[in-house]
Amino acid sequence: MSPRAGLTTDAVVDLAVKILDEAGPGELTLAKVAERAGVAAPSLYKHVKNLADLKRLIDLRIVREMADALRTAATGRERGDAIKAIADAYRAYLQHHPHRTGALTAAPDRADDELSQATHAVAEVVFAVLRPFGFDHVQAVHATRCLRAAVHGFAGLEASGGFGRPEDVDESFEVLKTMLVQGLTNYSEQK
């Protein structure tokens, strides 16, 4: 089915993600991907439409991985425990892959169903975790946004080296998680 049995789109994305992780988004070029693949740069266009398409595929993979990680973290937990678990999972993912922050910040192109759905899947996990709190739909949207903003903001700043001071970052995150759980609990009780 494939002459030379060489590259595939997935393999190209693999290499690209590796470069992203090692060197950051600024260093991700088709030329470097081609070099790693042992192939001339134009050959990549047989597997990927262009650089923008490659970046989209990378984002898609990352968002899906994050959704999986959060789903895994949430299973078998409830309420505060579940919230803290997905917060930890989100942060751990970006600690392991600091250069992937962009993929989770970028707005999914409205017309890109696949990526929109992947992003939606992340929100779904949060939604599910919030269900026991008994929010109505609008409240659940507000709560999801707050949770996502706080956790993504923290993990993103940490990943980009934004916390310069020596004080223990783990403990800061504990404080944040406590604030979120208490805050969401309060929000669910206030009518």
Partner DNA sequence: CCCAGAAGGTACGATCATTAGCTTTAAAGC
Partner DNA sequence: GCTTTAAAGCTAATGATCGTACCTTCTGGG
Work out how close the CB of 88 gets to DNA at its nearest, in angstroms, rounded to a whole number.
Answer: 35
What Å distances lie between residue 174 and 83, 154, 169, 177, CA to CA? 12, 11, 9, 5
For DNA, the closer CB: 24 or 153: 24
For its own copies, the closer CB: 41 or 106: 106
| Residue 105 interacts with its own copies (CB under 8 A): yes or no | yes
Alpha-carbon distance of 130 to 74, in angstroms, equals: 11
According to CB under 8 A, which residues from 114 to 173 bind its own copies? 116, 138, 141-143, 145-146, 148-154, 156-157, 160-165, 167, 169, 171-172
Q: What is the DSSP string of 40-86?
A: -GGGGGGT-S-HHHHHHHHHHHHHHHHHHHHHHHHTT--HHHHHHHH
According to CB under 7 A, which residues from 1 to 40 bind DNA? 1-8, 29-32, 38-40
Q: Are 41 and 31 in contact (CB under 8 A)?
A: yes
For DNA, the closer CB: 6 or 153: 6
The binding site for its own copies (CB under 8 A) comprises: 101, 105-108, 110, 116, 138, 141-143, 145-146, 148-154, 156-157, 160-165, 167, 169, 171-172, 175-176, 178-180, 182-184, 186-187
